[in-house]
């Protein structure tokens, strides 16, 4: 499966350092840590030119990518996105106006933006998602962020589970700074390498998907990355997602806890909890970023 890709070694995406130490071996990839700035990244990895091809077809149906049938969990995603919007809202300098959701998938967050009076546009590379979301009437671009050449500026830009995928990190950050209105806000959610989930699960942490999650930030390395583009992090917090019993059952199985997974499922069925959902911390962080004054 992986043999069809070309691999390449890259310097640290944040500081361009080349001195690293090895942390984990996962699925044939090495996860390293930069000795200069402490960013954790995959090296070597799939070549930049080929990386975007991972996302153009069937990405959201591939269980290997960690997406347990995207539309089936739509109600959980909507609930999660509404909660995330409520968490972002206190930091916004304006509400309403133009917003851009990068990696918008089926457009559920665009629906949430619409509920709050925003005019949301999206970037999405997966072709099947593209056509279904365009039918809902949203303007969707299928260009990777680094090649996005709109002169327009946005008052809110969101990147949910996107930062960890981006090659050419500084080109992408420069683009973000250019398309962000002076009173605009960037809100992003990305796996936090310092999270307790990573510390507990180690190399079994579900966020380690070294084919496409090519870098793993902490608050410190994210801060270093954005600062050189005139941006600053004004808030971070732990982030999670709503999960129901079948989602949690699948996650437990994924971690190899098959027997506990079955017990959990039987218990929740007996207790009549199979329709309930909980907000579970996934070891991600929410970061709110604005232009420096
Ligand atoms: Zn570095």
Instruction: Give tens-digit pLDDT for 143-158.
Output: 999 999 888 999 999 9
SS3 229: coil
- Would residue 190 count as lying in a domain? yes
Q: Please name the residues in contact with 48: beta carbons below 8 A apart, sequence gap of 6 or more.
A: 8, 10, 167, 168
pLDDT for 61 = 61
The answer to whether residue 228 sits within a structural domain is: yes
Domain assignment present for 11? no
40 CA to centre of ligand 1 in angstroms: 8
Token pair for residue 270? 């007996």
User: Does residue 38 lie within any of the structural domains?
Assistant: no
Question: How far is the centre of ligand 1, averaged over its atoms, from the C-alpha of 108 (Å)?
Answer: 35
Distance 63 CA to ligand 1 centre (A): 31
* Distance in Å, CA 11 to ligand 1 centroid: 8
pLDDT recorded at residue 70: 66
Residue 17 Cα to ligand 1 midpoint, Å, equals 5
Q: Is residue 3 part of a domain?
A: no
Q: Looking at the domain assignment, is residue 268 inside a domain?
A: yes
The per-residue pLDDT for 55 is 79
Q: What pLDDT, on a 0 to 100 scale, did the predictor assign at position 190?
A: 98
Please state the domain count of the chain.
Answer: 1
Contact 174, 95 (CB under 8 A): no
Distance 14 CA to ligand 1 centre (A): 5
Q: Angle, to 10 degrees, between the axis of helix 74-88 and the axis of helix 108-115?
A: 50
Residue 123 lies in a domain: yes
* 19 Cα–ligand 1 center, Å: 8
- Ligand 1 center–CA 102 separation, angstroms: 25
Q: From ligand 1's centre to the CA of 231, what distance in Å?
A: 18
pLDDT at 151: 86
41 lies in a domain? no
| pLDDT tens digits along 206-263 | 899 999 999 999 999 999 999 999 999 999 999 999 988 777 777 777 777 788 777 8
Q: Calculate how far, in angstroms, residue 1's C-alpha sits from the geometric centre of ligand 1.
A: 30
Distance 38 CA to ligand 1 centre (A): 6
244 Cα to the center of ligand 1, angstroms? 38
How many Å lie between the centroid of ligand 1 and the Cα of residue 165?
A: 17
| Residue 163 pLDDT | 97
Alpha-carbon gap, residue 230 to 253, rounded angstroms: 43
pLDDT of residue 69: 60
The CA-based angle 29-32-37, given to 5 degrees, is: 150
CATH number of domain containing 183: 3.40.50.150
CA 218 – ligand 1 centroid, Å: 12
Average confidence (pLDDT) per 10 residues, the chain, 293 residues: 80 98 96 98 92 77 55 85 98 95 94 96 90 90 91 96 96 96 97 96 92 96 97 97 80 77 78 79 96 90
Give the pLDDT of residue 127: 86
Q: Which two tokens stand for residue 208?
A: 């380690």
* 214 C-alpha to ligand 1 centroid (Å): 14
Range of the domain at 164: 55-62+73-291
Rounded to the nearest whole angstrom, what is the distance from the C-alpha of residue 77 to the centroid of ligand 1? 33
Ligand 1 centre to CA of 192 (Å) is 16
């Amino acid at each position: 499966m992986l043999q069809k890709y070309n691999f390449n070694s890259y310097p640290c995406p944040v500081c361009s350092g080349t001195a690293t130490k090895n942390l984990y071996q996962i699925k044939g990839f090495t996860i390293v840590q930069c000795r200069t700035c402490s960013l954790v990244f995959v090296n070597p990895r799939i070549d930049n030119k080929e990386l975007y091809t991972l996302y153009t077809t069937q990405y959201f149906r591939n269980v290997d990518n960690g997406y347990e049938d995207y539309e089936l969990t739509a109600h959980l995603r909507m609930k999660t996105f509404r909660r995330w919007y409520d968490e972002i809202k206190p930091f916004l300098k304006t509400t309403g106006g133009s917003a851009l959701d990068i990696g918008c998938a089926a457009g559920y967050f665009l629906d949430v933006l619409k509920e709050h009076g925003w005019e949301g546009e999206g970037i999405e590379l997966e072709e099947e998602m593209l056509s279904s979301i365009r039918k809902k009437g949203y303007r969707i671009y299928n260009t990777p962020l680094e090649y996005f050449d709109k002169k327009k500026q946005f008052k809110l830009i969101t990147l949910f589970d996107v930062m960890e995928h981006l090659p050419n990190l500084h080109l992408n950050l420069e683009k973000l700074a250019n398309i962000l209105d002076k009173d605009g806000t960037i809100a992003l959610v990305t796996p936090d390498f310092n999270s307790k989930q990573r510390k507990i699960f180690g190399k079994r942490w579900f966020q380690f998907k070294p084919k496409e999650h090519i870098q793993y930030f902490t608050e410190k390395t994210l801060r270093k990355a954005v600062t050189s583009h005139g941006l600053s992090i004004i808030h971070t917090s732990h982030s999670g997602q709503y999960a129901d019993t079948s989602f949690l059952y699948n996650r437990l199985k994924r971690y190899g806890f098959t027997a506990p997974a079955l017990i959990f499922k039987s218990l929740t069925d007996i207790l009549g909890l199979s329709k309930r959902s909980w907000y579970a911390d996934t070891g991600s962080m929410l970061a709110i970023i604005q232009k420096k004054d």
